[in-house]
Structure 1
């Protein structure tokens, strides 16, 4: 630790470091909580200048690191700078996010004396370890069996773990379940893929929900525009970071981000109202047509005849009847133009036979509220592996419960 302090000094209220001919300083980018509408943390990022004061990238400056011991030393130096500069600004109740090389993390966390000394220094500076978040990429887990032991050793100090760049490369949920990170940082490539694709945006939302079920908060980085911020909000992420809310800067600032966040909330309210209107308008003809089919069905008319109005609507796929156990009753009814073209690769899924759909939300909700029209969220239909929405309603005929269902295409691009 003494050698590290020999490489840092205080200049006009800021701490700077020296490495070879380079000058190292800290920059902090805010991490915002959507519900809180304020920064809940800051990520420490290293900034490098050469001996002429010209900025250069850390990658360029550190590419000559010759051995692992030097890598460990440099990694620790950067974090020491960030801690000093963060503490000096007296920002209460905020996390400090610190990047750490995975191999260095493994090494340091398992060195008991080194770890204890680092904790002691942080406490002496007035920063509780529960306000430290170590960001580690998961790629090392595939190569180093000691990673889980290192996680437990670091967690015992009281700090939090953020798994960085999740969603690319060899990412998998098995690692989430094994190491139980408090925070998962989604790779910005997921955001890029979700732009302009409702299907990908929906998949992003489902990934976030699964991470929540695993017990992790979710942070989405790379938020550059208002549209990005809306995508993140729609996906129900907890934390956001990016140029839309603040650029890395030497001093902890939040005014720019708070204003941007208020704009995002205003757009969110407008967009939600518009989406709700559009959704209802799109579904209303199908809801009405399915309700009109109940009378003829209860009078004993054939399914295809009773559901004519539904099947004439653009986008209608089929209608079918289920009994009280969710089993199909009789043949399905398709539009007069014939059923939608089927991908031959999924023909085995088309032959329903004695299919039972009791697990499906459209069945469960219908039988819980007999006589009320139910509408599902978009889901993957087993009939041709297409996205669809099902409108359903339960009714009684001759003392037996029946559920009428109508499927419609829901291609969102």
Structure 2
């Protein structure tokens, strides 16, 4: 990094605005303010400056405040429901509040009469050595004034579960690189699912950044993203765009996603129907040997995508042995699973209740198998009055 770029002047630095798009409305719902510097007639990102550990925090804060002031001045008086996303390092918030007792961003909003409800405070990814609960109390000052709280780079670096749990953001910002890894790696896929579940449990929305292609956008949809951001839509721009600028593009990808998902779940419905037909006869199992005989008689007629079958009682105890399909296509019996209790599985009680109420089989959502780490689904079917047949499927 050159000395010139290490200490950019306020006269040649300005905020640019990166659109954030809602998949729900197909409209631009906000802009992330990003610093840019004019060097030899060309715009360059200020990211290297702000991430340079050799430059003191005072220089970082001074330039960041200059850029924030410009962004808020431009935002003042803007009509519409868009949101302005402002990046703040947690260490800055913490230290400056402790030293000065006020929050610079809120003072800027007051000065320029900007509604705090139109601003998102984006807590950036960095190591934070202060008291996390004190940080949360400081962040709460923004929330009480009406600002929305987001956490950046969830799943990478220092944006950990503790920070998410204590700060309770309304937006979780996820980098697409994690999604791309999850597409080809089972471990990353499980982590990706955990963030989707976490967002839903927190009442937060997922914002996926780094979307550059239609395929990236489909990955974001599969992850449960509500908002997306990236060069597929636009580079950071000096002025705001018409809110419906990207609606045709999003509509096209959403339609492809809809057809893809309908085809997928159509296949699952067909599987559900085939298994229901196979299991319509009256079935009973009152002891382990009867249960084994029943499973043995069923598995021979199961399609090739069925790879494990067993019977449990309503209290969660496995009555039968495990019957698993071998690589050669035969079925192997493993009696060591008799007596195992599966009531600790999150879905078990709810599925049993639902099967009893509907008196028919249930096909689960996709999840990772504990033994094989493969993605599977489980078809559950009531047998008589006390037992339930479980068949694991993999595609």
What is the TM-score with the length of structure 2 in the denominator?
0.81
Superposed, 1:282-297 pairs within 5 Å as: 282=271, 284-291=273-280, 294=282
Query: Partner of 1:395 in structure 2?
Result: 383
Shift of 1:28: 0.9
Query: Partner of 2:332 in structure 1?
Result: 339
Shift of 1:155: 3.3
In the alignment, is the contact (CA less than 8 A) between 1:244 and 1:260 conserved in 2?
no
Cα deviation 1:324-362 (Å, max 9, x = unaligned): 43322243445572439x9xxxxxxx8323123345255
Shift of 1:114: 4.7
Query: Partner of 1:323 in structure 2?
Result: 313
Aligned partners of 2:263 and 2:273: how far apart in 1? 15
127, 152, 155: which one pairs with 2:114? 127
25, 47, 60: which one pairs with 1:36? 25
Residues 67 and 308 (structure 1 numbering): CA distance in 2 closer, same or farther, change over 3 Å? Answer: closer
Query: Partner of 2:224 in structure 1?
Result: 236
38, 53, 63: which one pairs with 2:41? 53
What is the CA RMSD across the aligned residues, in angstroms? Answer: 3.3
98, 105, 127: which one pairs with 1:140? 127
Q: Which runs of 5+ in 1 are unaligned?
A: 1-17, 343-349
Cα deviation 1:272-318 (Å, max 9, x = unaligned): 222122333455544433346x46979x893155314434x323323
Matched, 1:247 2:251: no
Matched, 1:186 2:174: yes
In the alignment, is the contact (CA less than 8 A) between 1:28 and 1:44 conserved in 2?
yes
61, 81, 85: which one pairs with 1:97? 85
Residues 406 and 148 (structure 1 numbering): CA distance in 2 closer, same or farther, change over 3 Å? Answer: closer
> How many pairs align?
375
Shift of 1:164: 0.8
Q: Which runs of 5+ in 2 are unaligned?
A: 1-6
Shift of 1:59: 4.1
SS in 1 for 2:76: helix
Residues 352 and 257 (structure 1 numbering): CA distance in 2 closer, same or farther, change over 3 Å? Answer: same
Matched, 1:208 2:196: yes
Matched, 1:86 2:91: no
Residues 104 and 332 (structure 1 numbering): CA distance in 2 closer, same or farther, change over 3 Å? Answer: closer
Query: Partner of 1:345 in structure 2?
Result: none
